[in-house]
Chain A
Amino acid sequence: DAEITQSPRHKITETGRQVTLACHQTWNHNNMFWYRQDLGHGLRLIHYSYGVQDTNKGEVSDGYSVSRSNTEDLPLTLESAASSQTSVYFCASSQGALTGELFFGEGSRLTVL
């Protein structure tokens, strides 16, 4: 069955370190997204991509970067982790226009000490 997987599921890191969260989907979806979930804020869009070599900033993109070198993967990098980036991160993908349905991974819980 097609799926979307995130790794690692849990990570603890220190302030200032670079961290990369992986996201891999086997649906062959063009669209991929990274959200962060924080209490009281719901899900906020970090970055998104509509295809290979396409990346766009979301509403909370500062301190994060993504790259899209193939259809299946959209890794999220925190260049210099900060305590404010402690959160649960969700990757999602969608098929395309007007379907609206996002398929979510199970999340990556990141703690920055």
Chain B
Amino acid sequence: AQSVTQLGSHVSVSEGALVLLRCNYSSSVPPYLFWYVQYPNQGLQLLLKYTSAATLVKGINGFEAEFKKSETSFHLTKPSAHMSDAAEYFCAVSEDNQGGKLIFGQGTELSVKP
């Protein structure tokens, strides 16, 4: 069965510092992988997705993630954190080629200190 583990329920960084949010997946077939962001009192928005094309995926707001099959990882990074990046981030996996049936990780809350 597919699953996702996000390491660290809460990450705090200083403004301008590197953001690294960790995600490891388990899947019996080549997975489709996603990162979503949730701002307070809102639904989730897609940041980026991996669908077996390039292993380095660029998303919105300067975020990117690298698919590493050997490590079963899909970590999210951003070189320089901004105050507006404070939100909750979810990694998700799908094996379903009909689209959209995602299994989500537990989420990581990112805080950005001035």
Residues of A within 8 A of B (CB): 31, 33, 35, 40-45, 48, 50, 90, 92-102, 104-107
Bound Cα distance A33, B43 (Å): 13
Which chain B residue has the least Cβ–Cβ distance from A90? B43
Pick the 7 closest A-B CB pairs, nearest first.
A104-B43, A94-B100, A43-B104, A42-B106, A42-B104, A31-B100, A96-B99
Check if B99 sits within 8 Å of A100, measured CB to CB: yes
For residue A106, which residues in chain B have a CB less than 8 angstroms away from its CB?
41-43
Encode contact with A along B27-54: 1 for CB under 8 Å, 0 otherwise.
Answer: 0000010101000011111100101000
| B70 interfacial contact with A, CB 8 Å | no
| B90 interfacial contact with A, CB 8 Å | yes
For residue A105, which residues in chain B have a CB less than 8 angstroms away from its CB?
43
For residue A102, which residues in chain B have a CB less than 8 angstroms away from its CB?
36, 44, 46, 100, 102
Check if B9 sits within 8 Å of A40, measured CB to CB: yes
Known interface pairs A41-B106, A42-B106, A42-B107; A100-B43 also in contact (CB < 8 Å): no
For residue B44, which residues in chain A have a CB less than 8 angstroms away from its CB?
43, 90, 92, 102, 104
Known interface pairs A33-B101, A99-B99; A40-B94 also in contact (CB < 8 Å): no
Extra contacts besides A43-B44, A45-B103 (10): CB < 8 Å: A33-B101, A42-B107, A45-B102, A48-B101, A90-B44, A94-B100, A96-B100, A100-B49, A102-B100, A106-B42
Which chain A residue has the least Cβ–Cβ distance from B1? A59
Bound Cα distance A13, B79 (Å): 46
Check if A42 sits within 8 Å of B105, measured CB to CB: yes
Known interface pairs A40-B106, A104-B45; A94-B99 also in contact (CB < 8 Å): yes
A-B residue pairs in contact (CB < 8 Å), sample of 19: A31-B101, A40-B9, A40-B106, A42-B107, A43-B90, A43-B104, A44-B104, A50-B98, A96-B99, A97-B98, A98-B32, A98-B99, A100-B34, A100-B49, A100-B51, A100-B100, A102-B36, A102-B102, A106-B43
